[in-house]
Amino acid sequence: MPPPRRPLTLRDVSEASGVSEMTVSRVLRGMGDVSPATREKVQEAAKRLGYVPNRIAGSLASSRVNLVGVIVPSLRNMVFPEVLAGVSEVLAGTELQPVVGVTDYLPEKEEKVVYELLSWRPSGVIIAGIEHSDAVRAMLRSAGCPVVEIMDTDGEPVDACVGISHRRAGRFMAEAIIAEGYRRIGFLGTKMPLDHRARKRFEGFTRTLGKAGIEIADQEFYSGGSALAKGRELTRAMLQRTPDLDFLYYSNDMIGAGGLLELQAQGIEVPARMGLAGFNGVELLDGLPMRLATMDACRREIGAKAAEIVAGRHADPDAPHERMVELTPKLDEGETLRRR
């Protein structure tokens, strides 16, 4: 894989839009004395090309700062802080420093965060996910520095990616549930469809169930944060709707922990009467009354490997590197999956 091509310049936007570099500069700096038609033409060309202005002034304009942009959707639970820990551990031994941007799973906010970070000409970008808008993909392709997409390998990376196959993770969990004899299965998910990784796990999960002749008996999706209270609320509502369920699969451990607390409050025996599983392997939940079945998403390892790729290519831009690094998630059966 060749290194990313050179960063785009005002001249590139000028040639693509058919107006002078001076006019392009005035448009992109937000100056008002440009006609609406010309402004629209320049903005469209810049967005299509993935052009991002260089905020490093004067004599530094051709250089890069020793920053690595790390763009994640959330810091509200332990998932992405552990990724950042892996990044920080590796970069601590280099001249590079991570700087974090948060997108809240919103494509329009991701576009803004990417634009702002790239305008400072970082030495690398580590960004969660492999699905992005056309504008974000254009900016990443034209970044002129190493770009590593993380957490997911089910797709085509812009440059390099490090993660797990979430479809495979969903398949592994379905196979384990089927092997224990559960048949009336409910699914509770968060941030879907904006959380593409949760969506892919659901796809792998339901496809595997379908091959065994099992359909999801009930399902619930919500857009709120991953919280114990929400897990309890959703679990209570689902059991009222479909009381004969014998297994609940949650898109993450936090709502799964809330589900476990709700079942215990109702006196429902776990796992003999009702099995449970989550996803992420969050150590914060080790103090639960029962150890929740889950799957380790290799978060710290993903962050560390992504940082190694960026640091290695920063030190030697011509060094060969892996385009796709796929790690294998590990199933932890805990105490809520096995019936015997």
In order, the DSSP letters of 110-171 are HHHHHHHHHTT--SEEEEE-S---HHHHHHHHTSSS-EEEEEE-SS--SSEEEEE-HHHHHH
Whole-number pLDDT of residue 27? 84
Whole-number pLDDT of residue 164? 96
Percentage of residues of the chain with pLDDT beyond 90 = 61
In our burial notation (b when 16+ CB lie closer than 10 A, e otherwise), range 252-290 reads bbbbbbbbbbbbeeeeeebbeebbbbbbbbbeebeebeb
Who has greater pLDDT, 285 or 198? Answer: 198
pLDDT digits (tens, 9 = 90+) for 222-236: 876 658 888 999 999
Return the C-alpha torsion angle 74, 79, 82, 84, nearest 10: -30
Confidence band, pLDDT 50/70/90 cuts, at residue 285? low
Whole-number pLDDT of residue 201? 94
Whole-number pLDDT of residue 75? 87
All structural domains of the chain: 1-51 (1.10.260.40), 166-296 (3.40.50.2300)
Whole-number pLDDT of residue 79? 82
Q: Please say if the pLDDT value at position 328 is more than 90.
A: yes
pLDDT digits (tens, 9 = 90+) for 214-273: 999 999 888 766 588 889 999 999 999 999 999 999 998 989 999 999 999 999 999 999
Task: State the Cα–Cα distance between residues 124 and 159, nearest whole angstrom.
Answer: 11
Length of the chain: 340
Whole-number pLDDT of residue 43? 87
109-135: average pLDDT: 95
Q: Please say if the pLDDT value at position 319 is more than 90.
A: no
Q: Please say if the pLDDT value at position 148 is more than 80.
A: yes
Helix axes 10-17, 36-49, angle to 10 degrees: 120
Whole-number pLDDT of residue 55? 66
43-69: average pLDDT: 76
pLDDT digits (tens, 9 = 90+) for 61-102: 547 888 999 999 988 777 899 999 999 999 998 889 999 999
Confidence band, pLDDT 50/70/90 cuts, at residue 2? very low
Q: Please say if the pLDDT value at position 1 is more than 50.
A: no
Mean pLDDT, rounded, of the chain? 89
Confidence band, pLDDT 50/70/90 cuts, at residue 3? very low
- CA–CA distance from 189 to each of 21, 32, 39, 227, 264 (Å)? 49, 47, 43, 12, 21
DSSP bridge pairs for 99:
69
What is the reported pTM?
A: 0.80
Task: State the Cα–Cα distance between residues 295 and 281, nearest whole angstrom.
Answer: 5
